[in-house]
Amino acid sequence: MPLVEFDLRGLSPGQAPDRGAVAPAAEADALLVRGPVPALAGVLAALWKAGRTAEVPVSWEPAGDGDSGALARALGIGTGAARELGLVRDDHGGVLLHHGRVEAAGDERRRPLARRLGAQAHHDAVKVADGQITRIDVRPDWRAVDTLDVTVLTLPLRPGRRTSGRAVQIACDPARITRDGVPHPRPVTRWTWYADDRVRWRLQP
């Protein structure tokens, strides 16, 4: 199958593409994705599950929202330079491109900064959380290779602890996970994000 185009500009904020809608990525020779960050993440997840990330060049025309603009700048969209990039995955089958968050599940009536949860977290060999926290923010570092930036916010409105490494493992009270603006459908008590050094994907800006 030659070039396959996905026009996913109609996705609502917080919405991921349906798996069936991105399934043709598995058979493509090249891909063009139009839409926000979750659109690109969904297509890359389908490509990874097919074992073809290293074979199929992917072009992306970002949407006009702030997250898409920030990721486009980080990836060098529009520069014309093809790149081979790592892929940040999680242990629930997803892909992370821009921003992941772990925060307390439950009472939505409380202000986000007032919600807290008990958590233990390790970033590679470093223990970054052990007790009550407000949230954990995770961002792929596209300037480096197979690297995640992790910020643990212990107290509201206080600077968080920032670390850099390949994988973050979290065990916690029931938590709400957000991947690139898309909430995971159910609370979790364990979660791992990791830069998979066995996987590369081909960006064609």
Structure confidence by residue, pLDDT tens digits, 84-93: 999 999 999 9
- Domain span at residue 54 reads 4-90
| Residue 95, in any domain of the structure | no
Q: Is the pLDDT of residue 113 over 70?
A: no
Percent of the chain past pLDDT 90, that is, above it, reads 88
d(CA 156, CA 205): 39
| Residue 201, in any domain of the structure | no
| Residue 167, in any domain of the structure | yes
Cα dihedral across residues 70, 25, 1, 201: positive or negative: positive
Q: What secondary structure letter does DSSP report for 142?
A: T
Does one domain contain both 141 and 57?
no
Among the three residues 90, 115, 138, which one is the final residue of a domain in this structure?
90
Does one domain contain both 53 and 109?
no
Of 60, 91, 51, nearest to 203 by C-alpha is 60
Among the three residues 66, 90, 114, which one is the final residue of a domain in this structure?
90
User: Would the pTM of this model clear 0.95, i.e. be above it?
Assistant: no
Task: Report pLDDT for 177.
Answer: 98
| Residue 40, in any domain of the structure | yes
Total tally of structural domains belonging to the chain: 2
Among the three residues 90, 120, 155, which one is the final residue of a domain in this structure?
90
